[in-house]
Amino acid sequence: MARFKERLRNPPMKKRALLVILLSLASLPTATLSRSEDAAAPKLPLPELLQKFNERQQAVQSLTAAFTERKDLSLLAKPVVSNGTFLYAKPARIKWEYSAPEPRVFLITEDRFLAYYPNQKRAEEVPLSKLAGRRVFRVFGIGQTSEDLQKFFDISQAEPGDEKDCYLLVLTPKRRRVKDRLQLVRFWVDSKTYLPRKLEYLESDGDSTLLSFANIRLNPEIAEGRFDVDIPKDVQISSTFSGFSGSSQSR
């Protein structure tokens, strides 16, 4: 059984750790956000909000959370809903463990991307550098300051809709190759923790993905083995990238 481990060398990152995580995304349904007086966002100007956001990001060494992902795809009549666990550890290790309806694992480090689909007996491993400009960038606001994000996006503030006690940041792509695939990213920042509570990605083709997070633990101890991916010997590992919708549920 091949075991893929993340090696703790001095990574030449910071550049790559824009958490261009899961570079094949979508965004949430294009439903209009309703304005509710009861759910009005706490008042905080954007510069001050970004400063507090930056302070929180710099304090994040590790994070775990449960997540629910809803994908609305133009080729499917019904949305695809998945659940799993998210893990993050500095400097740039990210792992998405999907448990239902189909198990799959996405591992992202400072220099590579690994996907494993147990039910399909296939895996993919590619250098992260080759994924730049691919389908869509999935941005998770963990470990990144607003300065990191502003290299790729214009950041604005909007009404949070029905989501209470939070702020809504809207990220609009700056670069053409990102604009060609991604319309925008929205994420709702908790007004107490300044961590993302929900993320929404809208692709240029209308497909969308919504990620909701729960049971967020900040700076827990995460065993090194949690970032290992065990792949049986009979599973062929390709060097191609098929995207983050590689489950049979989304085909």
Q: How many domains does the chain have?
A: 1
Predicted confidence (pLDDT) at residue 34 exceeds the cutoff of 90: no
In a domain, 244, yes or no: no
Q: Exposed e or buried b for every residue in 90-114, given b needs 16+ CB within 10 A?
A: eebbbbbbbeeebebbbbbbbbbbb
Rounded CA gap, 157 and 172, in Å? Answer: 11
Q: Give domain status of residue 8, yes or no.
A: no
Length of the chain: 251
Could you tell me if residue 212 is inside a domain? yes
Each residue's pLDDT tens digit, 46-103 = 999 999 999 998 899 999 999 999 999 999 999 999 999 999 998 889 999 999 999 9
Q: What CATH number does the domain containing 210 carry?
A: 2.50.20.10
State the pLDDT at residue 104.
96
What the block records as the tokens of 203 is 């692709």
pLDDT above 70 covers what percent of the chain?
Answer: 75
pLDDT of residue 42: 58
Angstrom CA distances, 143 to 9, 55, 206, 232, stand at 19, 10, 28, 32
Instruction: Report pTM.
Output: 0.77
- Measured distance CA(89)–CA(138) in Å, rounded: 17
Most confident option among 17-21, 205-209, 238-242: 205-209
- Domain, as residue range, for 80: 19-27+40-221+231-238
Residue 135: pLDDT above 70?
no
pLDDT attached to residue 248: 55
- What element of type H or E holds 107? strand 104-108
DSSP state letter for 226: G
Residue 205 belongs to a domain: yes
Q: Are strands 62-72 and 2-4 parallel, antiparallel or unpaired?
A: unpaired
Return d(Cα 153, Cα 50) in angstroms, integer: 14
Domain assignment present for residue 248? The answer is no
